[in-house]
Structure 1
Amino acid sequence: MARFDRYVLSQLFVLFGFFSLVLVSVYWINRAVILFDRLIADGQPASVFLEFTALSLPNVVRLVLPMSAFAASVYVTNRLASESELVVMQATGYSPWRLARPVFIFGLLVGVFMMALTQYLVPTSLEQLRFRENEISGSLSAQLLREGEFVHPSNGVTFYIREITPEGVLKDVFLSDRRNQNRTTTYSSVDGFLVTEASGPKLVMVNGIAQSLRKDNRTLTKTKFTDFSYSISALIDGPGSIFKPLDQRPTYELFLATDAVAAATGKSPGRVLEEAHGRFNQPLLCVVAALIGFSTLLVGGFSRFGVGRQIIGAILLLVLVKLVESIVTDPVRNNTQLWPLVYAQSVFGFAAAAFMLRLAARPRRRRKDASLQEAAV
């Protein structure tokens, strides 16, 4: 690798690390505030907060990598142009295509890291994060039964506990289930216990009464019981839940079992293929972002007034790349045969960068002073 390539790559990676750190910090702070309030309010230790933060970081990094690559490319190109380093390299015979080689290598290396994120780290971390959230929710089932408070864990369900003894006995339990529109059932008991079984957590009530009111014929039924168990697993998702969204499933499963995944998640087969191919398209977007940032600024050449217009043009090109994605989204989701359109935004981005480099490679026509031309004649 030439010394110029190593020099540019070192500059790109330094700025890439800086912008990535800044953008990840912004995303992380916004999420951490909400996450911290929720976990601390539920009585969870700081270690759980740190664990959840670490599990959410891969997805945050995936979001900021293309933006960091673009920002680093623009900043380094602007600095090389302002310090006339690009002018010197062009004077030695380097074409714009040759100057773009270290930027292309930089984009490829960032794309390899993005590939590792999209193919393994992000699905695995999101799956583990959801498992831990469900596990924490399951452990919070006892905390839902708070002394002297009416708790509504689900729509149409109300819990009330007068007192919880040190032995874990729930005193004066009240449970109202109004989820059935035609019938309202109310349970009340002297004592109660919270029991965890393989099928899920259950509330066991002792020495109580159940009242059922049917709204269609307005009849009230009363039943006394010695002990009665009420499953609360329907109110709280346990950690063993088998439902997995698309972003938590491995890529090979999305390709090999498209119809089965679509049926399990309630999504269309086109949406499943969009997710699968999108994991290969996102690394390409890192290369596109870096090349657009470099090639657009290279078109302007050296100017004492800066490259503000070129930077705005590069941002507009990225907006167009995103616009292409929004245009092809609906056709891909509606027709699985149109999955190649997932890569349309990357193809458009590469074409735009190549067009800019071709413009930069053209010899500029120098305007001659009219007065000097007339004097020469």
Structure 2
Amino acid sequence: MSRFDGYMLRQLLVFFGFFLLVLVGVLWITRSVSLFDKLIGGGQSAMVFLEFTALSLPTLIRTVMPMAAFGAAVYATNRLSRDSEMTVMLATGASPLRLARPVLYFGMVTALMMAGLTTYLRPASIQKLGVREAEVTRDLTAQLLNEGSFMHPAQGVTFYIGRIDEDGTLNDVFLSDRRNPDQPITYTGARAFLVRDDARVSLVMVQGMAMRYEAATNALSTTLFQDFSYDITSLATTRENGRRNLRGVPTTELMRTDTRAALEADHGYSQGQITEELHERIAWVLICIAVPLLGYATLMMGGFSRFGLWPQLLTAFALLLVMEGLRGAATSVVVNQPHYWWLLYAPAALGLLLTSIFLRAAGRPLRLFLSRSRAA
């Protein structure tokens, strides 16, 4: 590796880290607001929120990594051109294809990072996140111990606690059970206690009243009680059907025929969904190589201008949007028709093809051909 290659590669890595940090931070803040409200408002601790946030980071990083690599390549190339460093290298006889070598090294580095992220870290984090979500949803005590607000632990059930004492006593309890529309029941109690017996959770209310409404006879019956036990174990929300998350399946398992058959037969996934998930993980690795090369090659198409490389910058961003649109279209096609799996690699192939065309054109500018024709 020459000194210029190392110099440009260091700049690319620095800018890549900066753009990746900014994009992940913006996306994390956007998504963490709803997650914070859901977990903290549901009675969970701040450590649970931080754990869920850490487990979601691999997915966020995978989403923004190609954009960060593209932004780093475009920004570094534009900066080298603006500071005339690229012009000096071209004047020494180095071709745009030769100067693309550090960008290729940079793309290979980001591709290795993406390979580890998509094939191991992201599936493992999604699998762990699913386990923790199931544990949190089964933690009924944390869901209900939230004073001063109406909670809905299940469809048709409303629960309210006026105040919670330091010893765990619940005051001014209200429970409305409307799961049976023909006989809705409302319970109120001056005090209540949560009692756990193995997997069973009961709400023991003291000095309260139960009101039952009979829709058939349009009658309301009221019962006063000194103490009453209500089983609330069924209010705990659980994961539906124990279905395995396809995105959390390790890549090595997705490649096995028996695992694919089990996912299709036992968990209801189609062959197109399984094929799309497997090849998409590999396609993301190739995208990390094609995207920075395309950004660099597009900017090398422009000559010196006091106004900068704005036309080339806009063209590069437009091509990035085209590649993203092709990726989205290919995903929907492969899900319905899995034998078209090769379409998932079309955006990366298109990026590499345009890169070769642009670098060839940049190495042989139009004015060179015009000067040769005039001399002839």
Q: TM-score, normalised by structure 1?
A: 0.81
In the TM superposition, what is the alpha-carbon distance from 1:71 to its structure 2 partner? 0.8
In the TM superposition, what is the alpha-carbon distance from 1:245 to its structure 2 partner? 2.1
Judge conservation of contact 1:142–1:194 (CA < 8 Å) in 2.
Answer: no
Structure 1 residues 213, 344: closer, same or farther in 2, change over 3 A?
farther
Specify the alignment match of 1:186 in structure 2: 185
Map 1:268-279 onto structure 2 (within 5 A): 268-279=270-281
Specify the alignment match of 1:232 in structure 2: 233
SS of 1:278's partner is helix
Specify the alignment match of 2:251 in structure 1: 251
Specify the alignment match of 2:74 in structure 1: 74
Specify the alignment match of 2:347 in structure 1: 345
Structure 1 residues 197, 285: closer, same or farther in 2, change over 3 A?
farther
Map 1:272-287 onto structure 2 (within 5 A): 272-287=274-289
1:314-346: per-residue Cα shift (whole Å, max 9, x none)?
Answer: 111111111212322222111222222221211
In the TM superposition, what is the alpha-carbon distance from 1:188 to its structure 2 partner? 5.1
Specify the alignment match of 1:357 in structure 2: 359
Specify the alignment match of 1:114 in structure 2: 114
Structure 1 residues 263, 189: closer, same or farther in 2, change over 3 A?
farther
Specify the alignment match of 1:97 in structure 2: 97
Structure 1 residues 331, 215: closer, same or farther in 2, change over 3 A?
farther
1:183-215: per-residue Cα shift (whole Å, max 9, x none)?
Answer: 4353759897645566x5533668999998786
Judge conservation of contact 1:194–1:201 (CA < 8 Å) in 2.
Answer: no
Amino acid at match of 2:13: F
Specify the alignment match of 2:18 in structure 1: 18
Structure 1 residues 163, 36: closer, same or farther in 2, change over 3 A?
closer
In the TM superposition, what is the alpha-carbon distance from 1:170 to its structure 2 partner? 6.5
Q: d(CA) in 2 for partners of 1:217 and 1:287? A: 72
1:212-265: per-residue Cα shift (whole Å, max 9, x none)?
Answer: 878689899999x99876353454227x98433222221233332224324555
For residue 318 of structure 1, the aligned residue among 317, 320, 333 is 320
Structure 1 residues 172, 66: closer, same or farther in 2, change over 3 A?
closer
Number of residues paired by the alignment? 367
Larger deviation, residues 351-360 vs 62-71: 351-360
Q: d(CA) in 1 for partners of 2:172 and 2:105? A: 69
RMSD, aligned α-carbons: 3.7
SS of 1:184's partner is coil
In the TM superposition, what is the alpha-carbon distance from 1:152 to its structure 2 partner? 2.3
Specify the alignment match of 1:303 in structure 2: 305
Larger deviation, residues 127-136 vs 61-70: 127-136
For residue 292 of structure 2, the aligned residue among 269, 290, 293 is 290
In the TM superposition, what is the alpha-carbon distance from 1:107 to its structure 2 partner? 0.5
In the TM superposition, what is the alpha-carbon distance from 1:297 to its structure 2 partner? 0.5
Amino acid at match of 2:335: R
Structure 1 residues 106, 166: closer, same or farther in 2, change over 3 A?
closer
Identity rate, percent: 45
Specify the alignment match of 1:52 in structure 2: 52
SS of 2:202's partner is strand
1:86-132: per-residue Cα shift (whole Å, max 9, x none)?
Answer: 23323333222221111011001001001111111122223323333
Q: d(CA) in 2 for partners of 1:22 and 1:79? A: 19
Q: Give unmatched runs, 5+ long, in structure 2.
A: none
1:160-196: per-residue Cα shift (whole Å, max 9, x none)?
Answer: 5688777657689765443356x43537598976455
Structure 1 residues 305, 243: closer, same or farther in 2, change over 3 A?
same
Q: d(CA) in 1 for partners of 2:4 and 2:162? A: 75
SS of 2:56's partner is helix
Q: d(CA) in 1 for partners of 2:59 and 2:228? A: 48
SS of 1:179's partner is coil
Larger deviation, residues 122-131 vs 351-360: 122-131
Judge conservation of contact 2:9–2:102 (CA < 8 Å) in 1.
Answer: yes
Q: Give unmatched runs, 5+ long, in structure 1.
A: none
Map 1:214-233 onto structure 2 (within 5 A): 230=231, 232-233=233-234
Q: d(CA) in 2 for partners of 1:81 and 1:295? A: 13
Amino acid at match of 2:58: P
Structure 1 residues 350, 217: closer, same or farther in 2, change over 3 A?
farther
Judge conservation of contact 2:66–2:288 (CA < 8 Å) in 1.
Answer: yes
Amino acid at match of 1:57: L
In the TM superposition, what is the alpha-carbon distance from 1:133 to its structure 2 partner? 3.5
SS of 1:345's partner is helix
Specify the alignment match of 1:136 in structure 2: 136
